[in-house]
Amino acid sequence: MRIVTVIGARPQFIKASMLSSHLSTKGIEETLIHTGQHFDRNMSDIFFSELGLQAPQILLDINGDTNTRQTARVMMALEGQLRQNRPSAILVYGDTNATLAGAMVGAQLNIPVIHVEAGLRSYDRRMPEEINRVLTDNLSSLLFCPTQTAVKNLEREGIQEGVHDVGDIMYDAVLHFAGLAKEESTILERLQFEEKKYILATVHRNFNTDDPARLKAILRAFKQCEETIVFPMHPRTKKMIAQFELNDYLQSRNMVLTEPLGYLDMIRLQAGAKVIVTDSGGVQKEAYFNGVPSVILRENTEWVELVELGWGKLVSNDSESIVKAIQSAQAGESKENPYGKGNTGISITDHIHAYLSNL
Ligand code: UDP
């Protein structure tokens, strides 16, 4: 049994680390192809070393470019690889260009596609990620949903076969690495932070970074906050702040800027934060897993349970609303975790094993 896994971006390295180890214990051989979307030390290498993920066997080195061109280039490169060395299935994670490219090439070559994090919908087609999700789900044979909401979303689109609610693999990761992060990360000491006395912010979605008015409103809100804000800057965000000449907003007494952080530092910072402000899919959930309220810098979210339970609050793009939301953020309901029990990696592995055994 051999599968090819296609990954290319930071959150995919984290998700893959939670599944790869289980696959090998079940005798499923995995070839890891890294598309190269995130390629430098901070965005890629550190995750492989910290999370114990095997180095990719194949590195495609495809980054930059428009979404269409990046997807097409990955497709062309993948087609060559998969024709040469045909696996039993191709596995993709989430909603990036690598996800869609993997699914398209798999489907064209009649290789079954396995989608981890299937069924999520923001119902906002302005997001390139939403387009990638819808198309990938339509091309997949095995669809691993993180929530019941995701299962229902697929049902509404007529997709029922091969669908499994297995919980969220990122919850596995937080449970697995929280203890290690507490032991090994020195980020709070390095920044001289006290628990619950700072806010953690991340921003990288294109609708926030590529719109100067919106980006400015977010940075203005950060500047207006009384609390210290630690802001690990995504390379795209850093580039756009410079391009729109918004650097002055970063020169504020309460702003602590860092490079993108490794996962252990990030989990440690999340656990100690008073509030987390983010447009990241992964980070808004990790806030909840860590019992920290979040302010979500978006009009909608595919992780609707966070808003329903009151842990996440969606905010529009004016500075005043953002500041108000940060100041009034509080814990939500403590009902049963809608993202499963933290055994998603094992559950997915069992399903894949059963599926491949029957091919
Ligand atoms: N993350 C990290 N360092 C950072 C920012 C994020 O390790 O400086 C982690 C974060 O904890 C989460 C994942 O990266 O596990 C989320 O990735 P990202 O926000 O890039 O993508 P999204 O989840 O929005 O697709």
Is residue 155 domain-shared with residue 212, that is, in the same domain? no
- Has residue 248 got a pLDDT over 90? yes
Determine the structural domain holding residue 78 and report its residue range: 2-168+340-357
Quick check: CB of 223 below 6 Å from ligand 1? no
Quote the ligand 1 centre to 234 CA distance (angstroms): 9
Distance 283 CA to ligand 1 centre (A): 6
- Going by alpha carbons, the residue nearest to atom 23 of ligand 1 is 282
Eight-state DSSP code of residue 247: G
Q: Give 148 Cα–ligand 1 centroid separation in angstroms.
A: 23
**Are 185 and 322 within one domain?**
yes
Ligand 1 contact, 315 CB (< 6 A): no
pTM as predicted: 0.97
Q: Find out whether the beta carbon of 202 lies less than 6 Å from any atom of ligand 1.
A: yes
Domain count, the chain: 2
Q: Starting at the edge strand that comes first in sequence, how are the strands of the sheet with 58-59 ordered?
A: 58-59, 29-34, 2-7, 89-93, 113-116, 142-145, 163-165
* Phi-psi region at 9: left, alpha or beta (left = phi > 0; alpha = psi -120 to 50): beta
Atom of ligand 1 nearest to the CA of 14: 15
Residues 116 and 209 in one domain: no
Regarding whether 217 and 91 lie in a shared domain, the answer is no
Atom nearest to 94 CA in ligand 1:
25
335 assigned to some structural domain: no
pLDDT in tens, 199-225: 999 999 999 999 999 999 999 999 999
The whole-angstrom separation of Cα 60 and Cα 97 is 13
* H/E run at residue 295: strand 294-296
In terms of domains, do 253 and 225 share one?
yes
Here the CATH number for the domain that contains residue 243 is 3.40.50.2000
> Which pLDDT tens digit goes with each residue over 177-203?
999 999 999 999 999 999 999 999 999
Helix (H/G/I), strand (E/B), else coil: 272: helix
Q: Judge if 98 and 204 occupy the same domain.
A: no
Q: How high is the pLDDT of residue 317?
A: 78
What value does the mean pLDDT take over residues 159-176? 98
Q: Is the same domain home to 243 and 296? A: yes
Taking the CA of residue 9 as reference, the ligand 1 atom at the shortest distance is 20
- Residue whose Cα lies nearest atom 13 of ligand 1: it is 11
What pLDDT, on the 0 to 100 scale, is given for residue 316? 81
For position 245, what pLDDT does the model report? 98
For the annotated catalytic residues, the residue numbers are 204
Residues 141, 268, single domain; the answer is: no
Q: With a 6 A CB cut-off, is 11 part of the ligand 1 pocket? A: yes
Of the candidates 124, 279, 109, 121, the residue with the CA atom closest to the CA atom of residue 201: 279
Say which amino acid occupies 78: L
pLDDT in the model for residue 83: 94
Could you give the C-alpha distances from 43 to 25, 49, 262, in angstroms and in order? 28, 12, 8
Q: Is 122 in the pocket of ligand 1 (CB under 6 A)?
A: no
Cβ neighbours for 260, distance < 8 A, ≥ 6 positions apart: 10, 42, 43, 232, 233, 234, 235
Residue 107 within any structural domain of the chain: yes
How much is the average pLDDT of 263-275?
A: 98
Expressed in angstroms and rounded, the spacing between residue 282 Cα and the centre of ligand 1 is 6
Q: Evaluate whether residue 297 is within a structural domain.
A: yes
Residue 316 lies in a domain: yes
Q: Are residues 86 and 189 in the same domain?
A: no
Q: Do 271 and 130 share a structural domain?
A: no
Domain assignment present for residue 62? The answer is yes
DSSP-assigned states of every residue in 311-332: SEEE--S-HHHHHHHHHH----
Q: Are 19 and 114 a contacting pair, CB within 8 Å?
A: no
Give the closest residue (by CA) to ligand 1 atom 2.
263
Question: Are 188 and 314 found together in one domain?
Answer: yes
pLDDT of 65 reads: 94
Tokens of 67: 């979404």
Q: Answer yes or no: do 155 and 184 share one domain.
A: no
- pLDDT at residue 105 tops 90: yes
Supply the residue whose CA is at minimum distance from atom 19 of ligand 1: 280
Residue 301: C-alpha distances to residues 126, 297, 305 (Å): 13, 10, 9
Q: What backbone phi and psi angles, to 5 degrees, belong to 39?
A: -130, -20
Answer for the pair 258, 233: CB distance below 8 angstroms, yes or no: yes
Task: Check if the beta carbon of residue 157 is closer than 8 Å to that of residue 163.
Answer: no
Q: Is residue 253 part of a domain?
A: yes
User: Which atom, in ligand 1's list, is nearest to the CA of 267?
Assistant: 11
Q: Do 107 and 78 touch, CB atoms closer than 8 A? A: no
Q: How far apart are CA 36 and CA 1, in angstroms?
A: 26
Q: Residue 266: CB within 6 Å of ligand 1?
A: yes
d(CA 356, CA 96): 25
Pocket-testing residue among 268, 283, 298, ligand 1, by greatest number of atoms within 8 A of Cβ: 283
> Looking at the domain assignment, is residue 334 inside a domain?
no
| Residue owning tokens 């180890």 | 21
Cross-strand bridge partners of residue 34 = 7, 59
Q: What is the ipTM score, two decimals?
A: 0.99
- Interval between CA 88 and ligand 1 midpoint (Å): 30
CA of 292 to the centre of ligand 1 (A): 16
Token digits of residue 339: 């993202």
